């Protein structure tokens, strides 16, 4: 991604609740403190006019970033054997309040979410299947299907073990009932966000 493309991507994220962090709105019974904090952060973005994600990258995160192109290349190779097409994509904005960036589009009705976990984590996915997928990723994939109006998300995991690539794929189907809950949580968060925007703008420091 060029600097210009990244700046455009960051601009589109301002004020919007995004797929990678949508789980912060998905408390057991309500938004909770985590969801309210996320809504306040989005209010700051609107007032400041810029994405406030500091972009902290841990060692494991950087390893995943470095491996992701290879993972996506392998996934594309597998899809070609199945006569499926994989296309790159950018940020999908759904109105003014939410959006997300899938790793790629698959055919006309699916997506792919690439992860590069440690080999032991990948092995657990092989053994336990969907039950081993962290809730944060389930939330992310369902939200991506919501903003792109797609039916399936390929959860593709890729790792290096003893110097050799290993991978595993689980297909997650769209869950409209859960997506309805995501929509309600976004609506609740928007109310909090917009109210805080008003409070901030009424403060002379932001005038």
Residue 14: what pLDDT? 94
pLDDT of residue 206: 56
Dihedral, 70, 74, 80, 85 alpha carbons, nearest 10: -50
pLDDT tens, residue by residue, 105-158: 999 999 999 999 999 999 999 999 999 999 999 999 999 999 999 999 999 999
Domain positions in the chain: 3-206
Whether the per-residue pLDDT at 207 is higher than 60: the answer is no
pTM, 2 dp:
0.93
* Calpha distance 112→114 (Å, rounded): 6
- Assign 1 to helix, strand or coil: coil
* Residue-level pLDDT at 111: 98
Task: Please tell me the predicted confidence (pLDDT) of residue 2.
Answer: 67
Mean pLDDT, to the nearest integer, of 169-194? 98
| Of 189 and 207, the one with more pLDDT | 189
CB 71 within 8 A of CB 104: no
- CATH 3.90.320.10 correct for 3-206: yes
Residue 61 confidence (pLDDT)? 78
What's the pLDDT score for residue 9? 80
The pLDDT tens digits of the residues spanning 40-82 come to: 999 999 999 888 776 667 777 788 788 999 999 999 999 999 9
Q: Which of 5-19, 25-39, 148-162, 186-200 has the lowest mean pLDDT?
A: 5-19
Task: For residue 47, list its beta bridge partners.
Answer: none
Nearest to 185 by CA among 28, 42, 45: 28
Structure confidence at residue 3 as a pLDDT band (50, 70, 90): confident
Spatial neighbors of 122 by CB under 8 A, at least 6 apart, are 157, 158, 159, 166, 167, 168
């Amino acid at each position: 991604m060029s600097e210009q493309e990244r700046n455009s991507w960051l601009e589109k994220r301002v004020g919007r609740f995004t797929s990678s962090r949508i789980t912060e709105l998905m408390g057991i019974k309500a938004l909770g403190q985590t969801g309210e904090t996320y809504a306040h952060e989005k209010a700051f973005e609107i007032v400041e006019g810029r994405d406030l994600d500091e972009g902290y990258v841990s060692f494991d995160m950087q390893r995943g970033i470095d491996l992701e192109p290879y993972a996506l290349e392998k996934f594309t190779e597998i899809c070609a054997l199945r006569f499926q097409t994989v296309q790159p994509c950018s940020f999908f904005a759904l109105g003014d309040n939410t959006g997300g960036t899938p790793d790629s589009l698959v055919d006309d009705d699916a997506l792919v979410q690439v992860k590069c976990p440690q080999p032991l984590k990948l092995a657990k996915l092989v053994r336990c299947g969907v039950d081993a997928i962290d809730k944060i990723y389930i939330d992310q994939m369902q939200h991506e299907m919501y903003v792109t109006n797609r039916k399936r998300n390929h959860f593709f995991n890729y790792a290096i073990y003893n110097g050799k690539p290993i991978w595993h794929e689980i297909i997650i189907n769209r869950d409209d009932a859960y997506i309805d809950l995501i929509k309600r949580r976004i609506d609740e968060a928007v109310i909090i966000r917009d109210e805080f925007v008003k409070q901030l703008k009424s403060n002379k420091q932001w005038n």
